[in-house]
Chains A and B, each alone.
Chain A
Amino acid sequence: MPAPTSASASASASASAPASGPATAPAPAPSVVSVSVAVLRAEARLFAREPGAWFWIVLFPTALLTVLGLVPAFREPSKDLGGLRVVDLYVPVALLLSTITAGVQSMPNVLTGYRERGILRRLSTTPARPVALLLSQVVLHGAAVLVSAVLALAVGRLAFGVALPRQPLGYAVAFVLAALAALATGTVIAALSRTVKIAAAFGTIVFFPTMFSAGVWAPVQTMPQTLQTIVQATPLGAAARALGQAAAGDWPDWTLLGVSALWAVVLIAVSARWFRWE
């Protein structure tokens, strides 16, 4: 009786198909991209709930620029600065300051906390990978730094008449390399710190030298020659100088861009080597 047998077989197969997938028709697992997008979306919502991070990364650099811009003497062109005003020099400094607060202060604490509280470990029990969480944090902090940069350039231009960069592409390249190096510094801090407390202490130790090298206290152009040479060997010191050149309309020195890029590569390699997921 071939007909009834095959009929019942196909009936049972179609009945069991929706219930027990793997044996019959394995649906494709969600792709790495769609899983990463889901993680990024969740992390973006969480990032939006951190007003402290927003303040320090997005608002604080422009607030500092505004305060300095309100000092009348800082709006006077100076011969020592090659005809530029102090407020002109502080626009790139504001950009670099936001890469520092994002990369050195905010991100390492988030990542170290995720590891300390077992969030990375929990994620590693699912088909998602904890690296998706790390990359989401890098992307979100990078985006916040970008928003901060646009805000500083806009306020500088509109409130204080600071000219927009005359070599925009070179400016963008120098800025992206600086942001990469700063965020990579953050992943190194997170890699080497076992607890949030250690990460915060480590971040503070790194915070002041990087701010100094970025020219927060005195723009790099105003430093004595020897000090300039030293500072330009640091990722943000080199970027500060490169941003100054691009603002004036020149393509930045390849050596300066190379210094920032090399730092970024080395720091990424260090964190990839030492980062612990649990």
Chain B
Amino acid sequence: MPIIEVDGLRKAYGNRTVVDGVSFTVGEGEIFGILGPNGAGKTTTVECVAGLRVPDAGTVRVAGIDPRTDRDEVRQILGMQLQESELQAKLTVREALELYSAFYRRPADWRPLAERLGLTAHLRSRFASLSGGQKQRLFIALALVGSPRLVVLDELTTGLDPRGRRDTWALIEEVRASGVTVLLVTHFMEEAQHLCDRVAVIDAGRVAALDTPSGLVSGAASPTVISFTPSEPVGSGELEALPGAVSVRERDGRLTVDGTDETVDAVVSLLARRGITARRLRIADATLDDAFLDLTGRTPASVPAPFPAAPAAAAERGEG
């Protein structure tokens, strides 16, 4: 049984529709990412999952339970880290852990949890005196202290330095290794690419794509980036005409071609035919960033990528 089932979720605030027909399922033990630009409806979606908001339409089930009718039961199995929510300034780390333990049916022993999250040295510190990274680790600890089956982490690494972010990623992987499902809301592509088994890209309240991070990248219109400095000028029109090429940019004599593996072959043979040397030739996979922009940006999206989990897009294409 999937631990999260969301089907046809809709939520509007006044006249503004924030979530417009979102559906996805998350299997037990997955790290599932919800990715999208700011204001896409990510937070509202997870708030409906957690029972903090009542959907206007659609169904939500967490381990088969409806968060609307059985809030208390869902809260026993779901731990949550919210954006922009703090603790009492003078509450110590130890007091926070003890307090939150008292809410749950089967709380985890908070001591090893604090140890694992590097909080043992700060147990007597007050919340207000903690660094950003320490606060985030405490929030993870509080989300885990009830021994949940599912944790929801909303924009967890926003505001952390790169080192703190890496450390947090390692923690999230440990959490999953201990058997807890993770629902991760983020707008960092790198984070989703690094951590998530599957990602739902949400844009303007809808699921624009749902796939593994590598599936999203390879499904993008231009999954490969070729860059080089030619020994002699090459017409960009000529390059754009090559099979699979999507765009060509030039900067300080260096050319960058977005395309596919086919484009790589074509570029190499074109240059060989002309006897042009490609200095510092680099061929790289596009990042999830590129795929994301491809999906949500207003770039020439005349050729929607064939995402298996986006039947609506496929149907539209069939008609057009």
Contacts and interface: CB of A to CB of B under 8 A. Distances in A.
Interface of A: 21-22, 26-30, 34-35, 38-39, 42, 45-46, 49-50, 114, 117-119, 121-122, 124-128
Is chain B's interface secondary structure helix, strand, loop, or mixed overall? loop
A35 B102 contact: yes
Given A124-B52, A127-B103, A119 B76 contact: no
B2 to A, nearest CB: 16
A128 B103 contact: yes
B105 A49 contact: no
Contacts of B63: 22
Contacts of A119: 85-88
A42 B79 CA distance: 20
B282 interface: no
A30 B104 contact: yes
B88 A38 contact: no
5 contacts: A29-B72, A119-B86, A125-B50, A127-B76, A128-B103
Contacts of B90: 46, 49-50
B188 interface: no
Contacts of A128: 103
B85 A21 contact: no
Contacts of B99: 38-39, 42
A159 to B, nearest CB: 34
Contacts of A28: 105
Contact of B105 (A29, A45, A121, A122): A29
Contacts of A122: 82, 85-87
3 nearest interchain CB pairs? Answer: A118-B85, A38-B102, A125-B80
Given A46-B90, A126-B146, A30 B105 contact: yes
A118 B104 contact: no
Nearest to B65: A22
Contact of B86 (A22, A49, A118, A126): A118
Contacts of A46: 88, 90-91
Contacts of A50: 90
Nearest to B74: A127
B77 interface: yes
B106 interface: yes
Given A125-B50, A126-B75, A127-B76, A117 B105 contact: no
Contacts of A121: 52, 82, 85
A121 B79 CA distance: 13
A126 B105 contact: no
B86 A117 contact: yes
B85 A126 contact: no
B103 A125 contact: no
B283 to A, nearest CB: 46
Interface string B72-113: 100111011010111110110001001110111110000000
A118 B84 contact: yes
A223 B41 CA distance: 60
A128 B104 CA distance: 9
Contacts of B88: 42, 46, 114, 119
A184 B297 CA distance: 51
Contact of B76 (A29, A34, A114, A117): A29
Contacts of B82: 118, 121-122, 125
A45 B77 CA distance: 29
Contacts of B84: 118
Contact of A30 (B79, B80, B95, B103): B103
A56 B102 CA distance: 32
Nearest to A37: B102
B320 to A, nearest CB: 43
A26 B77 CA distance: 12
B188 to A, nearest CB: 21
A46 to B, nearest CB: 5
Q: With a 10 A CB-CB cut-off, give which of A38, A114, A121, A125 has the most chain B CB atoms.
A: A125
Contacts of B104: 29-30, 126-127
Given A29-B76, A121-B85, A35 B50 contact: no
Given A117-B86, A125-B80, A38 B103 contact: yes
A34 B84 CA distance: 28
A106 B177 CA distance: 46
B17 to A, nearest CB: 21
Contacts of A34: 102
B105 A125 contact: no
Contacts of A117: 85-86
A27 B107 CA distance: 11
B100 A126 contact: yes
A22 B149 CA distance: 10
A42 B95 contact: yes
Given A49-B90, A124-B52, A27 B106 contact: yes
A21 B87 contact: no
A35 B52 contact: no
Contacts of B85: 117-119, 121-122
A28 B77 CA distance: 13
B106 A126 contact: no
Interface in B1-44: none
